[in-house]
Structure 1
Amino acid sequence: MTRLVLIDGSSYLFRAFHALPPLTNAQGEPTGALFGVVNMLRATLKEKPDYVAFVLDASGPTFRDELYPDYKANRPPMPEDLRAQVEPMIRIVQALGFPLLRVEGVEADDVIGTLALQGAAQGMEVTISTSDKDFAQLVRPGVALVNTMSGSRLDSADAVVEKFGVRPEQIVDFLALMGDTVDNVPGVEKCGPKTAAKWLGEYGSLAAIMDRAGEIKGKIGDNLRAALPRLPLNRELVTIKTDVALDGGPDTLPLRERHVDELRELYARYGFNQALKELEGGSPDASAVAEKEPGRARGTGRIATTAPDEAVDPALGAAGEYTAVTTPEQLEALVAQLRAADEFAFDTETDSLDPMQANLVGLSFATRTGQAVYVPVGHDYPGAPPQLDRAAVLAALSPVLSDAGRRKLGQHGKYDLHVLRRHGVDVQGYADDTMLESFVLNSGSNRHDMDSLARRFLGYDTIKYEDVAGKGAKQIPFSQVAVDDATRYAAEDADITLRLHRVIAPRLAAEPGLERVYRDIEMPLVPVLARIEANGVMIDGDELRRQSADLSKRMLAAQQKATELAGRTFNLDSPKQLQALLFDELKLPVLVKTPTGQPSTNEEALEAIADQHELPRVILEYRGLAKLRSTYTDKLPEMVNPDTGRVHTSYHQAGAATGRLSSTDPNLQNIPIRTDDGRRIRKAFVAPPGRKLVACDYSQIELRIMAHLSQDPGLVRAFESGADIHKATAAEVFGRKLEEVTANERRAAKAINFGLMYGMSAFGLARQLGIGRGEAQDYIALYFSRYPGVRDYMERTRQQAREHGYVETVFGRRLYLEYINKGTQGQRAGAERAAINAPMQGTAADIIKRAMIGVDAWLADHRNQALMILQVHDELVFEADAGFVPELLAEATSRMAAAAQLSVPLVVDSGVGDNWEEAH
C-alpha cells in the first residue's frame, strides 16, 4: 500500500528541545533539538515512505486569531537557544529531500489534517508523526498517529478510547470542555480529562452536554453552566480544518533527491558524526538497525531512533564488531581477555522466558565498547556449525564468573544469574546493572529495558528478536537461530550493556544521594531476590483443589440465585446480556457508562445500583468467586515447577516509581486478604514436614514514616507510647480519654490517618464514613489543628515538589513528578497528592529492601535451617526448621526493626504456622 508520512515539524522541534540536554557543537552553537530532529528524520527515511511532508507553522496570524484575539496570547517567546536551531533545521530538512510546507493563514495542524484526509481518500496508508493530542480527532481507517518520542501509536478508534476515554469523533468536544492552557483556550474550570470523558460517555456530545447542563450537580455543574457561552468558540478553535486550499495533494509530495554536499557541510558543522559517517558510506547507521525484542524479558520497543539523553562519543552510537567463539583456542583467548579486564558485560541466551526452566543456548561478553563475542553452545538446527561443548565452556568460564574480585555488568542481570546458577555457575561480583542504574536515575521514566535505554542514551536501535527468530506461529526458539544471526543479536546485548553503563554511570555518580540508593539498596538486593525466587514456596495442591470445588459450588449457587432473581436464564459472564437484563428489562438506572456511551456493567457500575436490586450484588459475588478460582485456586497448581516441586514468583525492582517491588507469575502482591475467601488461599502456601512458615510484618510503617517526616510532636508521642495509633488519634481529634474512644471514632481516625497520606478529600472521607461532606471537612480541620506538623509537612513537600520537580525518600531515592507544574488542574492536583504519599511509600520500600539485605546476610550461615521465600508489601515470609524458629524470629525481627533509624520505633509483628494464613 502507498504510504504517506506527515511530520508535525513544530512538535518534533519542541519535543527534541525539551527532551535533550543543552548540547552544543565545537563552536558553542546549540544543537540538542537539531540532533533530535535529524535522528528522527533519518529514521523516517529508513521506513521508505512513498510520500512525505515536513509541515511548519507559517509566520503571521491565522483565522483562529481573528475568531479569538487572545488565542495563544500567553505563550512565552521562543527560547533563544531553540530559535537558533530553526534555520539549520530547515536547511537539513530540505537537504535531506523532505518537502517542507508552510501555508499562511492556517496552522500546520490544518495543513496536515487536510493532507491526511486527502491521502486516506486516495487509499493511502497515512501516518501523522506528532506528539499533539489534538490530532487524535483525525484517527480513522487509514490514518494513524505515531508519537516518535514516546513510541505510542494510535491507529484505531479503540486505541483512542483506551488513551483518552472518548472516540475520535468526540475528541473535539473533549478538548473544548477541557480547554488548552498552552493555546490560552479556557475550558470548563476544574474539568479535566476524566470529567470530560465521563460527560461525553453519558451524554454523547458537547451539544447534548450543553442542552442538559442543568442536570449536572455540584460546583462542577456551576462551572459548566458558567462556561456555556464560550464552549461553541472553544470547539471551533480546537477543530483541525481538513479543507485547506493547497497547491497540490499528497501525490505531489514524493521524497526529493538529497543534497549531499550541503548535508556534509551541515553534519560536520553541528558534530553529527554518525549521520556524517552514514552519508560517506561508512558502517550502517544506528537508526538503520531494527529494534530488539529479546527472547527473554527485555522489552518490546516500537519507536524509531530518537536522540540520546546525553552527548556521547560517536563510537558509542556505532554498530559493533561481533564474532563467534567456536574453537578451544578462541575460548582460551576469551578467558584470558576476561581475566585481564577491570570489568566486563555479559548476557545469556536461552530457549525460554522462565529462568527457572530455561536451557542455556549461548553466552556473550564485552570488555570494551564496540567489540563483543558470542559463545554458542546449544544451537541444534539441522546443519548447525560445530560448537563448543556446553559443559566445557562453563568449566572454562566458571572461575572468572565466580570470582568476586572481577566486576560484572548486566542488563536485568537477575535473569542471567538464575540461568547460570541452574547450569552450575555461581556468579559473584555482579557489580552493575544498567536497568537499575536507569531506574534509580529516573524512576519515573516508563521503560528501562535495553531497547528503550539504547534509544534514550545512545540514539541506537538494537536488533529485534523477530529479525532473527521470526514472528507469531512461525517464530523459532533461539536454539534454532542461525549462529551468524545469533552472534550479531547476542553479542550486541553485551556490547550495548557496556556502552550504556559507560554513559549512565557518570550521570549517577554526579548525584551522590541517588548513587547511595543504587549502591547500598538496589544492587545488593539483586542476589537476595535471586535467592528468594530460587527458594520458591511449597503449594498444597489438594487444598487448592478443595477450594476450587467449593468456589465452583458457590458460583453455581450464585448463578441459580441470579436466574431466580432475573426470572430467566442468562450468561453472567456476558456484559451484553447483563446490560440488556439490568437496564432494558429491570429498568435499573444507568449510573456509569462505558467510554462509548453504553451502560457499563463493571464493578463500579454494579456497586452503584446494588442498593436498588438484589441481582447486582449476586453478580458481584459471582465475579469475586470466579476471579479467585481462575487467578489462584485453579492456576497456582499449574505453576508448580516440575524440577523443584515449588512455585517460583519473579520480583521486579524497576516497576513502581516509588521503589516498591512487584511480582509476576504468580502475582503474590494481589492475593486478597480482606475477605475470608482471599485469606483461605494463603492456607495453600505451606511448610514441608518438619518445618514452619514464619511471617514478619511491619506495623503501620507508612504512618510511622509520616510521624518521622513531619516531626509532629503529637504523632511522634502517640507512636512512642506504643498505644493503638488510631485510637490515640481519635482521642486527640475528639478530645476524649483513650478509654472513652468509640469504635466509630476510631474508624473515623483510621480513615483520616490513611486517607491524608493518599490525598483523600473531604468528599472521599465523607463517602467512606457515610457522613456529610461538611462533617468530614470538620474532621480534617480538627485533625490538622491537633497535628499541625502534619499539615506543615504536607505544605513543605508540595513546595519542594514545585521548586525541584521531585520529592525524596528518607534514603535519598528521588521521585519525579511530571505534572507538578504543568498540565491540567486535575493532573497538578494528582501530582501534589503523589508528592505527599511518595516519600512515605518510597521510604517504606527502601526500608524493607534494606531489611531483606540485612536478614539475607545473616541467613548466609543458616541456609540449611531457614530460607526467605516471599516478600509481599511490608511483610517477609520464611520457611524454617521447627527447632530454629525462635532464633529466626529473634534475629529477623531485630534486623527488620533496625533497617532504619526513625524518630519513632519500627515495630515488627510476627507469627508462626504450618501455612501462611496460620502465620498471621
Structure 2
Amino acid sequence: MTRLVLIDGSSYLYRAFHALPPLTNAAGEPTGALFGVVNMLRATLKEKPDYVAFVVDAPGKTFRDDLYPDYKANRPPMPDELRAQVQPMCEIVHALGIDILRVDGVEADDVIGTLAVQAADAGMQVTISTGDKDFAQLVREPGAGGGSIALVNTMSGSRTESDAAVVEKFGVPAARIVDLLALMGDAIDNVPGVDKCGPKTAAKWLGQYGSLDGVIDNADAIKGKVGDNLRAALARLPLNRELVTIRTDVPVGRAPDTLRLRDPHVDELRVLYGRYGFNQALKELEAGSLAGDGAGLAAVAEREPARARGGGFVAAAVTPVAVDPALSVPGRYEAVTTIDQLEAWIATLRRAGSFAFDTETDSLDPMRATLVGLSFAAEPGHAAYVPFGHDYPGVPAQLDRTRALELLRPMLEDPGVRKLGQHGKYDLHVMRRHGVALAGYADDTLLQSFVLEAGSARHDLDSLARRHLGYETLKYEDLCGKGAKQIPFSQCALDDATRYAAEDADITLRLHRVLAPRLAAEPSLEHVYRQIEMPLVQVLQRIEANGVKVDMDELRRQSGDLSKRMLAAQQRATELAGRTFNLDSPKQLGALLFEELKLPALVKTPKGQPSTNEDALEAIADLHELPRVILEYRGLAKLRGTYTDKLPEMVNPDTGRLHTSYHQAGAATGRLSSSDPNLQNIPIRTDDGRRIRRAFVAPPGRKLVACDYSQIELRIMAHLSQDAGLLRAFESGADIHRATAAEVFARPLEEVTGNERRAAKAINFGLMYGMGAFGLARQLGIGRGQAQDYIALYFSRYPGVRDYMERTREQARERGYVETVSGRRLYLEYINARNQAQRAGAERAAINAPMQGTAADIIKRAMVAVDAWLGELGGAGGSSPALMILQVHDELVFEAEEAFVPVLLEEVGRRMVSAAQLSVPLVVDSGVGDNWDEAH
C-alpha cells in the first residue's frame, strides 16, 4: 500500500519550542525547536514513507480572518528565538528530500486536510504527523478502496487510527469532533466556546442529543448555570463550527502523488547537522542511515542533549561561511616507518613553510607522558604518522625514537618554519621532555576558536570539526576502548593508530584554514589572538614546567589537625542531634533537620525536595546550632580532601614539584583557570585556607615573591567610566574605599568610620558585579530602603559610573556583546530577552565583563613581558636566578635567589604597571617570604 505522510510543520515547530529547554549550538544560535523538529523528522523517515510533505502556514490572512476578524487575535508575535530557527528548519527539511508546502490565504491545517482526503480517496494510507487535536476530525479507517487517514503524535509516540480510538480519546467519534470543538471553543485561536463547557460536558451533550444541531435545538432542556452559558452562546456556535472545520477542498496546486520523497542531500545535511550540534543525527548520516529510532521526543532528547543555555555569556554568532568541500571529506594518511619516508616528509614540510603537528603519548599528564608517535599535515587531506613507540606483539617495524627525533630536530627547532596545533601547550611539554625545544609555534586552533567564540563550551578538536567542517572525527575510545578495558595508545594497531593520529593533524590544518580568515576579518579579535593569547602559550608552558615546591610535612600536620577538628565537629553534631547519623549523607541530614528538628526548608532542590547544600544550611544557621556545625565539618573535609591529603599525591616524582595545568579557554572573560590542582580556588578569607599556602615553599637559598595588582577592576571601572571623582581618588593615591565613604556619607576623610568604609567597599565591588539594593542590604545587614539610599548617594557622587553603566547596557543591547579595552568580545545571549530575570542577568554581565576581561588581558600581557625579561637572564629551571611559578587571579608568584629579590621586585613591578595604559595608574603590591602565605 502506498503511504503518504503529511507533517504539520507549524504545529511541531511551536510545540518543540515550548517542550524543550532553550538550547543553543556552540555558536550561540538557538536550536531548541529545530532540535525537536529534526528528531521528529528522523522518527518519521524511519517508517520509510513513499510520499512526504512538510506543511507550514503562509504569512498573511486566511479566509477565517474574513469570517471572524478576531480569529487568533490574542496570539503573541513569534518569539525572535523561534523565528531564527524557521529558515534553518526549512534548509534541513529540503536537504532531507522533503517538499515544503505553503499556500497563500490558506492555513496549513486546510492544506493537510485537502491532501489527506485526496490521497485516501485514491487508496493511499495517509498519516498526519501532528500534535493538534483538531485533526481527529479527519481520521478514517480503511475502506473498500484501502485508503485511510491516521494521526501520529511523534512528540509522544501515540497513534490514532480508528474511530474507536477517537472515541476513547475524545468521547465522540471523528464525525463529531467538529461539533465538540465548536462547543469547547479554542483559546489558542481565540474562538470562544460555551463558558465552563469542557470536553467531558461537550461529549455528554453530543452523546445525548446526537450533534451540535441537536444540542442547539435542545438548549432549553439543559439546566443550571452551564445551560445558561449554552443559551448565551447559541448565536456564535454555527460560526464556531465553520472556524474549527478543517477544509478539504482548498486549491493546493499539488497532487499527493507528486510528493515523492527524494534522495537526501548528504553533504548539505552534514554541514547543517554539524553546525547545529545534532550529533546523533550526524552519526546516523555518516553510518548511511537517516532514520532515528522512532522514540518520543523526550527519549530522543535524553539520548542526544543539545547544550542548554546558562550564564550570561554565549559564543559569538559567527556568520557561517561556505566551506571548501575538500575540507569535509576523509583524507589520505600514511604511516612513516622508514628513514627515506621520514626525510621525504621533512622536505615536504620545509617546502610548505608551515604545517600542523600533533603528538601521541601514553598519558594525559604532559609532565609524565612518553612519546609514542608524531603526526604532520602540510596540506588538507594528506597527513602522515611517524610511530616509534607501539609495543604490541607482532607490531611492524618502526623508526627508532632517538634517531627520528634527531632527524626532525632541525626543522622542529627552526623558528622560520611555522607550526600549528590544537591545544599545542601539551605538545610543547612533551617535546621539551624528549629533548626538542620546539620553536615557531605560530597558531593554535583551540585559541582561534576561543577568541572567535569565547562563550562556547567546547573547543576540543572533535567539536570544532563537527561545528566548522561538518566532519565526524575518529574517537580515541573507538580505537582503544573504554573504562577498565581501555588499552594504551601504544598497543593500538599501527593502521588504526595512523588513521587516528594523522587525522588529528589533518583536521587541525583544515580548521586553521577555516578559522584564520574569520579572525583576520575581525581586527580587534585578531589583535587579542596574536598579541595576547598566542604569546601566552609558551609562557604558560614554562610556568607549568617550573612547578612549585611543597612541604609534605606541613601538609601532613595540617591533615592531622583538620582530622581532629572534623572528629570534634562530628561529636558536637551527635550531641546536638541526640543520636548518631552520617554527616556525609544528605538524606539522613535532611530527615534530621526538617522532619525531626522541624527546621524550615528554605531552599529546595530542582525536584522540589528540601536541600541540604551550603546555601540551604546558611539560610537556617541562625535558627539552630547544628547547621553551623555541619558547615564547619564540610569546610574542614573539603580542605583535607582537596588539598592537604591530595596535594602530596600530585607531586611529580621526577621533579619533586607540583605542576598545575593552566587553561586559556576556561572562562569567557579570558581569565585563566587551573586544574590538577586547581590553585585558583584555595580559600584565602579563612585562617585554614591561608594555611594551605604555607605548604607552597621556596627551596633553600631562595624566596617566594608574590606580586598582586591592587584593586585592578576598580581602576578599570574608573578608566571606562571616566568619572571625575574616581579618577581623582586614584590619582591621589587615597584609600579608594575610604574616599568613597567620604563622598557618599559627606564627611571628611579622616572621620570615616570602619562601618562606613565597609559599606563603601561593598558598594564599590557590588556595583561592578551588578549587585542591587537587595544584595547590598543582605551583605551589610541593613534594610533594603537604606541600601537603596546608599546606592543613590553613590551615583549622585559618581555620576560617571551611572552613565557608564547605562551606556554599556545600551551598547550591549544594540550589538549583542561588550568588549574589553584590548578588544576581546564577550557575547551576551539574554541582553534582549523578554524574560526580565534573564535580561537583568545579562545586563549585570555586560557591566562586569569588560572589567573582568580587561583585568585578564592586562595580567596576560604582564606575564608575556615578564617572561621575556626572565628569558634574557639565561639559565633554566633551578639555574635561573628567578622563575615565574604561579598565576592566581591578579597575582603572579615567583621563586628567586634571595640576593636577586630586589631586582626582581623592581623589574616585575615595572612591567606589570606598564602592561596597560589606563587613565589611572596601575599599582602592584608585593611581598617576600619563605612560603606563599608569607609572601602574599
TM-score between the two structures when normalised by the length of structure 1:
0.75
Between the aligned partners of 2:527 and 2:81, the Cα distance in structure 1 is 40
Give the drift of 1:460.
1.0
2:756 is aligned with 1:745: yes
1:409 — aligned with what?
Answer: 420
Q: C-alpha displacement at 1:522, in angstroms?
A: 0.2
Aligned to 1:114: 153
Matches within 5 A, 1:14-53: none
Secondary structure, aligned partner of 1:669:
coil
Q: Give the Cα–Cα distance (whole angstroms) in 1 for the partners of residues 453 and 376 of structure 2.
A: 27
Q: Distance in 2 between matches of 1:592 and 1:77?
A: 31
Match of 2:871 among 853, 860, 863: 860
- Work out whether 1:774 is the aligned partner of 2:778: no
Instruction: Give the aligned partner of residue 475 of structure 1.
Output: 486
Q: Matches of residues 577-616 of structure 1 in structure 2 within 5 Å? A: 577-616=588-627
**CA distance in structure 1 between the partners assigned to 2:838 and 2:693 by the alignment:** 38
Quote the residue 2:97 is aligned against: 93
Letter in structure 1 aligned against 2:74: D
Give the Å deviation of 1:822: 2.3
Alignment CA distance shift 1:375-1:609 (3 Å) = same
Alignment counterpart, residue 895 of structure 2, candidates 871, 874, 879: 879
Match of 2:75 in 1: 71
Aligned-pair CA distance for 1:115: 3.8
Match of 2:708 among 689, 697, 703: 697
Distance 1:836 1:289 in 2: 47
Over 3 Å counting, the alpha-carbon distance change for 1:445 and 1:118 in structure 2 is closer
Paired residues for 1:514-593 under 5 Å:
514-593=525-604
Aligned to 2:932: 916
Please state how far the C-alpha of 1:339 moved relative to its aligned partner. 1.2
CA distance in 2, matches of 1:82, 1:465: 36
Partner of 2:385: 374
Are the structure 2 counterparts of residues 330 and 119 from structure 1 closer, same or farther at C-alpha, using a change threshold of 3 Å?
A: farther
Match of 1:713 in 2: 724
Cα distance per residue 1:680-712 (max 9 Å; x no partner)? 000000001111000000000000000000010
The answer (yes or no) to whether the contact 1:93–1:100 under 8 Å persists in 2 is no
Please state whether the residue corresponding to 1:504 is helix, strand or coil: helix
Question: Aligned partner of 2:919: which letter?
Answer: S
Match of 2:802 in 1: 791
- 3-state DSSP of counterpart to 2:623: coil
1: CA distance, partners of 2:8 / 2:380: 34
C-alpha spacing 1:748/1:476, structure 2 compared with 1 (3 Å)? same
Q: Deviations over 1:333-373 (max 9, x none)?
A: 01111111121000011111111111111111000011111
Q: Distance in 1 between matches of 2:517 and 2:511?
A: 11
The offset of 1:304, in angstroms, is 10
Q: 3-state DSSP class of the match of 1:860?
A: helix
C-alpha change, 1:825 and 1:580, in structure 2 (3 Å) is same
> What pairs with 1:266-305 in structure 2 (closer than 5 Å)?
288=286
Gap regions ≥5 residues in structure 2:
1-6, 101-124, 138-149, 161-187, 191-245, 247-256, 274-281, 289-302, 308-317
Query: Which amino acid in the other structure matches residue 432 of structure 1?
Result: D
Partner of 2:249: none
In the alignment, is the contact (CA less than 8 A) between 1:17 and 1:82 conserved in 2? no
- Mapped to 2, the partners of 1:95 and 1:492 lie a distance apart of 37
Residue 10 (structure 1) shift? 3.9
Tell me if the contact between 1:444 and 1:657 (Cα under 8 Å) persists in the aligned partners: yes
**CA–CA distance in structure 2, aligned partners of residues 370 and 675 of structure 1:** 56
SS at match of 1:670: coil
Q: Quick check: 1:728–1:738 contact (8 Å CA) kept in 2?
A: yes
Pair 1:472–1:537, CA change in 2 (3 A): same
Per-residue deviation, 1:94: 3.4
- Per the alignment, do residues 671 and 424 of structure 1 end up closer, same or farther by CA in structure 2, a change over 3 Å counting? same
Rounded Cα–Cα distance in structure 2 between residues aligned with 1:308 and 1:490: 30
CA distance in 1, matches of 2:779, 2:672: 28
Give the aligned partner of residue 356 of structure 1.
367
1:681 lines up with 2:720 in the alignment: no
Partner SS for 1:310: coil
Distance 2:24 2:594 in 1: 49
CA distance in 2, matches of 1:538, 1:500: 39
Distance apart, 1:596 and its partner CA: 2.1
Residues 512-559 of structure 1 deviation map (CA, whole Å, 9 limit, x = unaligned): 111100000000000000000000001101100000000000111111
Task: Classify the secondary structure of the residue corresponding to 2:404.
Answer: helix
Asked whether the 8 Å contact 1:555–1:625 carries over to 2, the reply is yes
Query: Contact 1:326–1:386 (CA<8 Å) still a contact in 2?
Result: yes
Residue 204 (structure 1) aligns with: none
For residues 74 and 361 of structure 1, the distance between their equivalents in structure 2, rounded to whole angstroms, comes to 56
Match of 1:892 among 892, 908, 914: 908
Equivalent residue runs for 1:812-823 within 5 Å: 812-822=823-833
Q: 1:483 to 1:51 in 2, by over 3 A?
A: same
Give 1:589 shift.
1.7
| Equivalent residue letter for 1:350 | T
What code does the residue aligned with 2:286 have?
A: A
Residue 639 of structure 2 aligns with which residue? 628
For residues 820-875 of structure 1, the C-alpha deviation after alignment (integer angstroms, 9 at most, x for no partner) is: 11252111111100000000000000000000000000000334111000000000
CA shift for structure 1 position 584: 1.6
Q: String of CA shifts for 1:137-164, please: whole Å, max 9, x gaps.
A: xxxxxxxxxxxxxxxxxxxxxxxxxxxx
Residue type at the aligned position of 1:785: S
Provide closer, same or farther for how the CA distance between residues 12 and 871 of structure 1 changes in structure 2, counting only shifts above 3 A.
Answer: farther
Instruction: Using the TM superposition, give the Cα deviation of residue 608 of structure 1 relative to its aligned residue in structure 2, in angstroms.
Output: 1.2
Deviations 1:51-98 (A, max 9, x none): 799976567899xx99975134456899899679849945843389x9
User: Which stretch of structure 1 is more off in the superposition, 106-115 or 662-671?
Assistant: 106-115
- For 2:408 and 2:57, the matched residues in 1 are separated by 63
Give the Cα separation in 2 of the matches to 1:390 and 1:489: 20
Name the SS of the counterpart of 1:672 in structure 2. coil
The alignment's TM-score, normalised by the length of structure 2, stands at: 0.74
How far apart are 1:273 and its partner, in Å? 11
Who is 1:901 aligned against? 917
The aligned residue for residue 869 of structure 1 is: 885
Cα shift at 1:113: 8.6
Q: Give the 3 Å change call, closer, same or farther, for CA 777–610 of structure 1 in structure 2.
A: same
Evaluate the alpha carbon distance shift between residue 776 and residue 342 of structure 1 in structure 2; reply closer, same or farther with a 3 A threshold.
same
In structure 2, how many angstroms separate the alpha carbons of the residues matched to 1:681 and 1:689?
20
Measured on the aligned residues, the alpha-carbon RMSD in Å equals 4.3
Structure 1 counterpart of 2:451: 440
Q: 1:272 to 1:358 in 2, by over 3 A?
A: closer
CA contact (8 A) 1:758 1:833 kept: yes
Partners of 2:95 and 2:269 within 8 A in 1: no
1:309 positional shift: 3.3
CA distance in 1, matches of 2:134, 2:445: 42
Shift of the 620–12 alpha-carbon distance from structure 1 to 2, 3 Å rule, reads closer
Deviates more, 1:102-111 or 1:482-491: 102-111
What secondary structure sits across from 1:548 in the alignment? helix
Kept in 1: contact 2:589–2:612 (CA 8 A): yes
What SS does the corresponding residue of 2:333 show, helix, strand or coil?
A: strand
Distance 2:497 2:135 in 1: 45
Amino acid at match of 2:603: V
CA distance in 2, matches of 1:109, 1:827: 39
- The 8 Å contact of residues 440 and 813 in structure 1, kept in 2 or not, is answered as yes
Residue 45 of structure 1: CA displacement? 7.5
Mapping 1:820-831, distance limit 5 Å:
820-822=831-833, 824-831=835-842
Tell me the amino acid that sits aligned with residue 728 of structure 1.
A
Query: What is the percentage of aligned positions where both structures have the same residue?
Result: 68
CA gap 1:88/1:509 in 2 versus in 1, 3 angstroms = closer
Report the AA paired with residue 913 of structure 1. G
Matches of 1:314 and 1:88, distance apart in 2 = 18
Which of 1 and 2 has greater Rg?
A: 2
Q: Which amino acid aligns with 1:899?
A: A
Aligned match for 1:419, one of 420, 430, 436: 430
